[in-house]
């Protein structure tokens, strides 16, 4: 089977780490590298958890190197969310061997990305499920890589209601943009094709008790048990949405790489607001740059795909 080169940069949330687990099960993916930015997670546990997931569930992918980011954001994530990274890192299934073997790169994430894109045979698809800081820095340092990027698939932005509830902000932004609005602004200036999984793209895939029960019923599969354990630390949607309600934001984004048929996309012209009370807002604009926005998804096909991948994880 012909494989697509994929480079994955994530920020250590539960759905970021589950996304890594899913990518490792996709036969058509050649994972050229992984890097971790300390936005919605802490750097050490998110990096260690990544290496342990590769060790435990990436047997058929060969060695996959992990790099730490040294990027810093403008607007920090709530610590309560970031602490999830410690929880996943401590799961017994990831610590049974007592070892960490996936190689740790000595390069910072943005230079690791440059190295892996330059070194790949052909083009690379970039999958980002956190802020775009490392990509913005990579493009500034090595403009030549743009020609070798097939496209960017990003969980970020919204054209509807934002999920940032912070003083000094008007609530119009999505967190991955808000953490570093200037980075998103920089990437928007590039010629890279962008597939955008925005907040509203994920409205049909909240974490619910029904989804949990589905995983619980199939916990005899170690991969499915892993999903259930990861999401055990996240509040589900029961009565009405709150600031802590969990969606499968990044996992849908990752699934759209392996199974493009589960999402529908349309072109939207837009720009990014880099400063002020709306900083991090993505806004439709007739003369803005085009992105391929995911506007609909098939949740049943998505959750089935997710469980199927998890069942085949050995």
Under the rule (CB under 6 A), what is the footprint of ligand AGV? 13, 15-16, 40, 81, 129-130, 155, 163, 174-176, 244, 246, 249-250
For the CB of residue 176, give the shortest distance to Ca ion in the complex, in Å: 6
Q: Which does 180 bind (CB under 5 to 8 A by kind): ligand AGV, Ca ion, none?
A: none
Q: Which is nearer to ligand AGV, 81 or 305 (CB)?
A: 81
Q: Which is nearer to ligand AGV, 37 or 107 (CB)?
A: 37
- Minimum distance from residue 220 beta carbon to ligand AGV (Å): 28
* HEC readout, the chain: CCCEEEEEEECCCHHHHHHHHHHCCCCCEEEEEEEECCCCCCHHHHHHHHHHHHHHHCHHHCCCCEEECCCCCCCCCCHHHHCHHHHHHCCHHHHCCCCCCCCECCCCHHHHHHHHHHHCCCCEEEEECCCCHHHHHHHHHCHHHHHHEEEEEEECCCCCCCCCCCCCCCCCCCHHHHHCHHHHHHHHCCCCCEEEECHHHHCCCECCHHHHHHHHHCCCCHHHHHHHHHHCCCCCCCCCCCCCCCECHHHHHHHHHHCHHHEEEEEEEEEECCCCCCCCCEEECCCCEEEEEEEEECHHHHHHHHHHHHHHCC
Binding positions for Ca ion, 114-153, rule CB under 5 A: 129-130
Task: Give which of ligand AGV, Ca ion, none residue 163 binds (C-beta under 5 to 8 Å, depending on kind).
Answer: ligand AGV
Told to check if 174 binds Ca ion by CB under 5 A, we report no
Q: Which residue is nearest to ligand AGV (CB)?
A: 13
CA atoms within 13 A of residue 4's CA, in its CB half-sphere: 18
Q: Which is nearer to ligand AGV, 157 or 258 (CB)?
A: 157
Least distance from ligand AGV to the Cβ atom of residue 138, Å: 19
Neighbours of 220 (CB within 10 A): 8
Task: Report the residue number, 107 or 197, with the smaller CB distance to ligand AGV.
Answer: 197
**Closest-CA residue to 273 (of 204, 200, 185):** 185
Site string for Ca ion, 239-268 (x = CB under 5 A): -----------x------------------
Considering CB distances under 5 to 8 angstroms, the limit depending on partner class, which of ligand AGV, Ca ion, none binds residue 179? none
- How many chain residues touch Ca ion (CB under 5 A)? 6
Q: How far is the CB of 273 from ligand AGV (least distance, A)?
A: 17
| Binds 174: which of Ca ion, ligand AGV, none (CB < 5-8 Å by kind) | ligand AGV
**Count of alpha carbons within 13 Å of 32, Cβ hemisphere only?**
23
Residue 16 interacting with Ca ion (CB under 5 A): yes
Query: Considering CB distances under 5 to 8 angstroms, the limit depending on partner class, which of ligand AGV, Ca ion, none binds residue 244?
Result: ligand AGV
11 binds Ca ion (CB under 5 A): yes
By a kind-dependent CB cut-off of 5 to 8 A, residue 231 interacts, out of Ca ion, ligand AGV, none, with none
With a CB cutoff of 8 Å and minimum separation 6, the contacts of 239 are: none
As beta bridge partners, residue 125 has 6, 151
Residue placing its CB nearer to ligand AGV in the complex, 108 or 233: 233
- Token match 């802490």: residue? 42
39 vs 107, beta carbon nearer ligand AGV: 39
CB-nearer residue toward ligand AGV: 145 or 247 = 247
Binding site for Ca ion (CB under 5 A): 11, 13, 16, 129-130, 250
């Amino acid at each position: 089977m012909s494989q697509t080169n994929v480079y994955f940069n994530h920020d250590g949330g539960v759905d970021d780490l589950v996304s890594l687990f899913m990518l490792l099960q996709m036969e058509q993916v050649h994972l050229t590298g992984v890097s971790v930015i300390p936005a919605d997670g802490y750097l050490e546990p998110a990096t260690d958890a990544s290496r342990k997931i590769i060790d435990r569930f990436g047997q058929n992918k060969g060695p996959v190197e992990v790099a730490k980011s040294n990027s810093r954001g403008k607007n920090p994530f709530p610590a309560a969310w970031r602490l999830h990274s410690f929880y996943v890192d401590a799961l017994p299934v990831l610590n049974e061997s007592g070892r960490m073997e996936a190689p740790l790169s000595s390069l910072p994430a943005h230079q690791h990305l440059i190295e892996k894109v330059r070194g790949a045979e052909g083009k690379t698809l970039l999958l980002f499920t956190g802020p775009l800081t490392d990509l913005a820095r990579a493009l500034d340092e090595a403009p030549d890589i743009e020609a070798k990027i097939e496209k960017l698939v990003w969980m970020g932005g919204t054209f509807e209601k934002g999920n940032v509830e912070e003083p000094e902000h008007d609530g119009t932004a999505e967190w991955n943009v808000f953490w570093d609005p200037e980075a998103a602004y920089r990437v928007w200036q590039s010629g890279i094709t962008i597939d955008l999984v925005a907040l509203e793209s994920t409205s049909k895939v909240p974490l619910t008790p029904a989804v949990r029960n589905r995983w619980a019923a199939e916990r005899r599969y170690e991969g499915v048990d892993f999903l259930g354990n990861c999401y055990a630390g996240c509040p589900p949607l029961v009565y009405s949405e709150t600031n802590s309600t969990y969606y499968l934001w990044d996992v849908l984004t990752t699934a759209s790489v392996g199974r493009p048929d589960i999402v529908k996309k349309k072109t939207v012209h837009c720009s990014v607001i880099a400063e002020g009370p709306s900083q991090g807002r993505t806004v439709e604009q007739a003369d803005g740059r085009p992105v391929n926005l995911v506007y609909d998804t098939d949740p049943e096909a998505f959750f089935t795909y997710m469980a199927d991948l998890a069942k085949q994880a050995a």
